[in-house]
Structure 1
Amino acid sequence: MTMGVPTTTTANELTIVNPRNLYDPTPNGYSTAVIVPPNARVAYISGQGGQDSTGALSPDFAVQVEQAYANLRTALDALGARPDQVAKLTVLVVDHDQSKLGVLTEQVKEVFGEALPAQTLIPVPRLAIDAMLFEVEAIVILD
């Protein structure tokens, strides 16, 4: 693809596109677009919050984000999938402000490395459980 810089193909054939004429989103932990290969099998992972295996939630935003991504990794493992197979993330953040963006970016880069999926962040007033501060859902392309 000539329109995007950088354009990267990951091991499972997802193509990441960040067009030259758009803002470079990679420093903030996401890509502008991801092309899925033809005839790919798709899995949808429901929103994962920051609950541990007992259902407990830390009151700390960063701890919830880290746990939510650990939960996402567990769901990926159950599908036999890797982080570089995630095409799209949607994250929901209670009372989002700029101070939370750094926490989110750090965690996404830790989980996904250079294979940053497309991503949408939606600020919300609350989530399903009162103490939840963060939730992440994923669209995954299976081998």
Structure 2
Amino acid sequence: MSRAIKHLLIGGLITMTMAVPTATTANDKELKLTIVNPQTLNNPTPNGYSTAVIVPREGRVAYISGQGGQDRTGALSPDFAVQVKQAYANLRAALDALGARPDQVAKLTVFVVDHDMGKLEVLTRNVTEMFGETLPAQTLVPVPKLAIDPMLFEVEAVVILD
């Protein structure tokens, strides 16, 4: 075996060994997100989000695919507010399936068909109902349409797992 390959193998083993977490990293303490809202920026909390969220080093990350406003049968209400409420209920069900709580959500991305300022109140109400004071970072993306024509809203999440 060449000397370069031996060094590569040894280096790889050392790197792999260093990357293995010890039993004390994630199990000895509850992982908490750190919310950051700099005073030098406009306060985003009345709009239902935080400027930034720091994820603990020990955390595992899960990505929840976009949840729309379909009920269990796949039916969609034509009403925007009903779809948003159902989408957050669906997000909550996905969190429950992961064994996660809303305060473990670090980032939301929401997609709104034909967004206008009148929809912000509905969005903010639903986010604050679900997340309380632990508001995740969030981005709203106005879109002309979503995957299913009657779909008006979709929310995806990045979650830190204990």
TM-score using structure 2 length: 0.81
Cα deviation for residue 13 of structure 1 reads 1.3
Aligned-partner residue type, residue 47 of structure 1 = G
Secondary structure of 1:66 counterpart: helix
* Corresponding residue number in structure 2 for 1:31: 50
Q: Distance in 1 between matches of 2:92 and 2:77?
A: 19
Letter matched to residue 138 of structure 1: A
- Please give the secondary structure, in 2, of the residue aligned with 1:19: coil
CA distance in 2, matches of 1:12, 1:126: 37
Per the alignment, residue 53 of structure 1 pairs with: 72
Q: Per the alignment, in what secondary structure is the counterpart of residue 37 of structure 2?
A: strand
Quick one: which of 132, 138, 142 aligns to 2:157? 138
In the alignment, the residues of structure 2 paired with residue 99 and residue 36 of structure 1 have an alpha-carbon distance, to the nearest angstrom, of 32
Preserved contact between residue 12 and residue 84 of structure 1 (Cα < 8 Å): no
- Compare the two structures and name the one with the higher helix fraction: 2
Kindly indicate which of the two structures has a greater share of residues assigned to strand: 1
Which residue of structure 2 aligns with residue 80 of structure 1?
A: 99
Deviation, 1:28, is: 0.3
Q: Report the Cα distance in structure 1 between the residues aligned to 2:57 and 2:71, rounded to whole angstroms.
A: 36
Name the structure 1 match of 2:36: 17
Confirm or deny that 1:111 pairs with 2:130: yes
1:59 Cα offset (Å): 0.1
- Give aligned-pair identity as a percent: 80
Corresponding residue of 1:4: none
Q: Highest Rg: 1 or 2?
A: 2
Verify the 8 A CA contact 1:65 1:104 in the aligned structure 2: yes
Distance 2:131 2:157 in 1: 12
After the TM superposition, list the runs of 4 or more consecutive aligned residues in structure 1 that deviate by more than 6 angstroms: none
Please state how far the C-alpha of 1:12 moved relative to its aligned partner. Answer: 3.4
Cα offsets for 1:44-80 (capped at 9, x unmatched): 0000000000000000000000000000000000000
